[in-house]
Amino acid sequence: MAFTFKNAKLVLNTTPTDVYTVPASTKAIIISAQVVNVYSSSVTVDALWTDSSDGSAPTRLVYALPVAKNGTESILTGKSWYWKPETN
């Protein structure tokens, strides 16, 4: 079986945005996900994915992950990921 690698990128803001949607009859493996802050002050990032085979219930990858001014953070790399439970 041949593998096809895809790159996806976009400029994020405060509105939730889909970065990549897996086409029908296709499986996808996410190897890495990173965020870069190009703004002049620190920001926080929330990231999640949904799986339609699991009822589209969102799975949070990071919650309020701080990204320093001009900084870069890995949301997930290989098997490692940062997770902070949501607090009310």
- pLDDT tens track for 22-81: 888 787 878 888 899 998 999 999 988 887 777 777 888 889 999 999 999 988 766 544
How far apart are alpha carbons 1 and 53 in whole angstroms? 22
Contacts of 87 (CB under 8 A, 6+ apart): none
Q: Tell me the two tokens of residue 65.
A: 């992950």
pLDDT band of 87, cuts 50, 70, 90: low
- Read off the pTM: 0.69
Residues in the chain: 88
pLDDT the model gives residue 11: 85
